[in-house]
Amino acid sequence: MADFTKHSFAKKNRMKTDVLLIGSGIMSSTLGAMLKELQPGLSIQLFEVSDRPSQEASNGWNNAGTGHAGICELSYTPHQEADGSVDVSKAISVFEDFEHSLQFWAYAARKGIIKDTKECINPLPHISLVHTEEQLPYLRARFEGLKKHHFFESMKHSSNREEIKSWAPLLVEGRDGNQPIAATHMEGGTDVNFGEISRNFCEWLDEQDDCETHFGHRVVDLEKKGKGWLVTVRDEVSREKRQVEAGFVFIGAGGGSLPLLQKSGIPEVKGYGGFPIGGQWMITRNPEVVKKHTAKVYGQALGAAPTMAVPHLDTRVIDGERSLLFGPFAAWTGKFLHNGGSHTDLPLSVRPSNIVSLMRVGIHNLDLVKYLVEQGLQSKSSRMQELYNFYPDAKDEDWEVIDAGIRVQAIKQEPGEEPGIVHYGTEVLTSEDLSISALLGASPGASVSTQVMLECIQRCLPELLESDEGKSRMSEMIPNWDQDLKISTARDRYFDIHQKAMADLNLT
């Protein structure tokens, strides 16, 4: 275990580095590990305000740990078309993006960058559940659309209670016999501890030549200097400030990214605002209940619920402890970070260039704001009502409410769009001269970190992928980085590299 309290940086007054990473979550740590493997000569410095890695959104307790592969999440295939079919293209492309993560983590396991795969990723069936008459044709049509593709050919669909009970007994026991239910089930899904993966990447990075990770160090300012950046960093213990010259800066500060981007003054950030959505879980550790459920079960969004607040009932394995989490329940918050945030984060992010977008969020998303306030004020018993849709026999005394992480959704008016639309996707903002890049938004999030960081390298540091050596190093890390595995002729190749990654990650 690395000594995350060390402050080696304090010894030096000024430092120069090729790459400066802000934050130690899954995004920055993935970029650090990928870059160093791609170009071993690079110097990399990573700065993190917390005293240890990945305490915000990527931490195991702060997110749902779903390896988003489009298997069970109904939000990627939201509705039936007029002809009764369901468009499954988004689910297929999310699956391929997650495949890139599986391959990169498998490479990291082979190279000893990830030390213990069981702490980072575990196999878990992914189930989608519907429980109203109106939802049944939708789930059937979604299944028929997905089943045709080689990514999803092992998926099963059933409306037979006994079969669904064999997949996940809690979904059926105690359920009203007149209530229609249907489910899809697929092996090959995962439960991921993104915080552990980030920790492994940070520890490894710190051991490499010309690379250091600095915990307890907050980036407080960024100023353009020549072709690169002069970054001011404050030691949170001594309060001393230091400056670092960097050729390329990546802001992977999660909820802290928008304020830092605003400080950089790059024109690309104009008009962007951040809209934080807090979260809470219900958790049970009762071993009798926990042992009866081994799956992630996703349902459908109800009313104004944002896609990331669609409830699911999940087996989680965090810090060696097995539990069931239900949620997340969304909540109104002004904070941009779970630990290091303040209720003034939202008002302080307001700028003349984004005030219109922010105000219109309130006006154009009244249903969403009302929903968030109501969710935050929800009593435990009304949360239990939602749980009964999944687990009719749930006992109030087995469950308690705990905090989840915060997602800061990006707000920006796109051409032809109503002002104040909340974007639920992940957005990478890059300066025109490609010297600084930042990640905003949080969905699908950690699962697509490898794909998002690959695109960041392709865009900002393309020279690293120009040589045959660069290409071959990247192919070793992500065998299909430059190939489309979605097309039908790629079926055999997909199964080949997928099986190898699953074996290396001990997921078979």
Ligand X SMILES: Cc1cc2nc3c(=O)[nH]c(=O)nc-3n(C[C@H](O)[C@H](O)[C@H](O)COP(=O)(O)OP(=O)(O)OC[C@H]3O[C@@H](n4cnc5c(N)ncnc54)[C@H](O)[C@@H]3O)c2cc1C
| Interactions with ligand X, residue window 261-300 (CB under 6 A) | 279
Q: Quick one: 296 or 412, whose CB is closer to ligand X?
A: 296
- Structure tokens belonging to residue 239: 């309060």
- H or E stretch including 262? helix 257-264
User: What gap in Å lies between CA 182 and CA 299, rounded to an integer?
Assistant: 11
Q: Which is nearer to ligand X, 157 or 311 (CB)?
A: 311
Site for ligand X contains 24 (CB under 6 A): yes
Between residues 141 and 305, which has the closer beta carbon with respect to ligand X? 305
Strands 14-22 and 44-48: parallel
Report the site for ligand X in 335-364 (rule: CB under 6 A).
337, 340
Could you tell me which stretch among 46-54, 139-147, 151-159, 346-354 binds ligand X (CB under 6 A)?
46-54
Cβ atoms of 306 and 375 closer than 8 Å: no
Question: Least Å distance between CB 484 and ligand X?
Answer: 22
Q: Smallest distance, Å, CB 314 to ligand X?
A: 8
| Residue 50 is a binding residue for ligand X (CB under 6 A) | yes
Q: Which stretch binds ligand X (CB under 6 A): 25-33, 174-182, 388-396, 479-487?
A: 25-33
Helix intervals (H) in 17-88? 26-38
**Span 58-97, contacts to ligand X by CB under 6 A:** 58, 62-66, 68
CB 256 within 8 A of CB 86: no
Site string for ligand X, 488-507 (x = CB under 6 A): --------------------
Question: Is the Cβ–Cβ distance between 161 and 216 less than 8 Å?
Answer: no
Half-sphere exposure of 500 (CA within 13 A, CB side): 15
- Pick 65 or 274: Cβ nearer ligand X: 65
H helix or E strand, kind and range, residue 370: helix 366-377
Q: Is the peptide bond before 444 cis (omega within 30 degrees of 0)?
A: yes
The residue (of 25 and 420) whose beta carbon lies closer to ligand X is 25
Q: For 68-217, where are the alpha helices, taking DSSP H only?
A: 89-110, 117-120, 135-147, 161-167, 194-207
461 contributes a contact to ligand X by CB under 6 A: no
Nearer to ligand X, 32 or 256 (CB): 256
Beta bridge partners of 126: 186, 296
Number of Cβ atoms within 10 Å of the Cβ of 342:
12
Cα radius of gyration (the chain): 23
The C-alpha atoms of residue 309 and residue 305 are separated, in whole angstroms, by 6
Q: What is the dihedral of CA 429, 330, 293, 443, to 10 degrees?
A: -10
Report which residue type is found at 397: E
List, in sequence order, the alpha helices (H) in 405-462.
449-460
- Here the tokens at position 392 are 């009719």
- Under rule CB under 6 A, residue 218 binds ligand X: yes
Restricting to residues 112-151, name those near ligand X by CB under 6 A.
none
Q: Is 216 in the site for ligand X (CB under 6 A)?
A: no
Give the nearer residue to ligand X in terms of CB position, either 37 or 56.
56
Extended beta strands in 156-198, E state: 156-158, 182-186, 190-192
In the bound state with ligand X, the residue whose beta carbon lies nearer, of 144 and 403, is 403
Nearer to ligand X, 22 or 141 (CB): 22
Among the candidate windows 51-59, 128-136, 390-398, 477-485, which touches ligand X by CB under 6 A?
51-59
Binding segment toward ligand X, per CB under 6 A, in 26-34, 80-88, 168-176, 181-189? 26-34
212 binds ligand X (CB under 6 A): no
Tell me if 188 contacts ligand X by CB under 6 A: no
Cβ(450)–Cβ(459) under 8 Å?
A: no
Buried b (16+ CB within 10 A) or exposed e, 86-115: bebeebbebbbbbbbbbbbbbbbbeeebbe
**b/e map 451-482, b = 16+ CB within 10 Å:** bbbbebbeebbeebbeeeebeebbeebbbbbe
Task: Report, in Å, the least distance between residue 15 CB and ligand X.
Answer: 15
Smallest gap from Cβ 217 to ligand X, in A, equals: 6
Per-residue mark of binding to ligand X, 392-431 (x: CB under 6 A): ------------xxxx------------------------
> Does residue 194 belong to the site contacting ligand X (CB under 6 A)?
yes
- Closest approach of ligand X to the CB of residue 284, in Å: 18
**Site string (226-255) toward ligand X, x via CB under 6 A:** --------------------------xxx-
Which residue among 18, 48, 99, 119 contacts ligand X (CB under 6 A)?
48
> Quick one: 24 or 431, whose CB is closer to ligand X?
24
Q: Does 315 bind ligand X (CB under 6 A)?
A: no
CB of 98 to ligand X, least distance (A): 8
Note whether 10 and 242 are within 8 A (CB).
Answer: yes
Residues interacting with ligand X, by CB under 6 A?
22-28, 47-50, 54-58, 62-66, 68, 194, 218-219, 252-254, 256, 260, 279, 328, 337, 340, 404-407, 439, 442, 444-447
